[in-house]
Amino acid sequence: MPTLAVCMLSEWRAENVEHPYMPAASVGMATVVRRDTMIAFKMLPFLLLPILLIVAGCAPGAPKPVPVAGTVLIDGKPLTSGFIRLIPADNRAATGAIDDQGRFRLTTMTEGDGCVPGTHDVEVTSTKTIRHGELAWLAPEKYRDPKRSGLKATITGPTDDLVIELSWEGQKPFVEKIDTTGGDFDPRSIR
């Protein structure tokens, strides 16, 4: 049977229970409340926060996403894998996976809903793990940073033929060796 506690303003009084953290002073009318109910009330703001955030994103004045799909090209040929993000200045980013034909379909809130109209910074990341500790870059690393990429896309309405053009600018795909020790020291040095 759940423990019952008496609650009045900020004072607690144990009822049929000894508890060291509940002072035994209470005056006037009191309400009998189950202890687990009080814990639930304390957690209520944390439980409601995700719902409020979702509702805020669906406010009547908020811009609605429009369907957007397209192709990513690198030096005129389809980029065969990776991810693309269109990042508006004041709204949620839209993302999409790039398939082996260079095609993508953007998602903001629900699968394939697109992105909000406007001018967006663009980020494209395309890498492939060669083997443990080696990462092949299939597109220049600068495109993964929307501030350095120099890429912009303007969306005015639904489209399925947005083209994002990348270039190696005379460079070639490269393999990066990455530290896989997970720390700042060589674990073999520990004795």
What tokens were used for 57? 């994103």
Please give the model's pTM, rounded to 2 decimal places. 0.63
List the pLDDT tens digit at each of the 191 positions of the chain. 444 444 433 344 444 444 445 454 444 444 444 555 555 556 656 666 666 555 555 556 678 999 999 999 999 999 999 999 999 988 899 999 999 999 999 999 999 999 999 999 999 999 998 888 888 899 999 999 998 999 999 999 999 999 999 999 988 888 888 877 665 555 555 54
**Element housing 57 (H / E):** helix 35-57
**Element housing 152 (H / E):** strand 152-155
Q: What pLDDT does residue 33 have?
A: 47
Fold of 68-177: Immunoglobulin-like (2.60.40)
Which residues lie closer than 8 Å to 63 by C-beta, 6 or more apart?
A: 91, 116, 117, 118
Q: What pLDDT does residue 176 have?
A: 87
pLDDT per residue as tens digits for the range 147-168: 899 999 999 999 999 999 999 9
Distance of CA 94 to the CA centre of its chain: 11
Domain boundaries, the chain: 4-57, 68-177
Q: What pLDDT does residue 38 have?
A: 52
75 three-class SS: coil
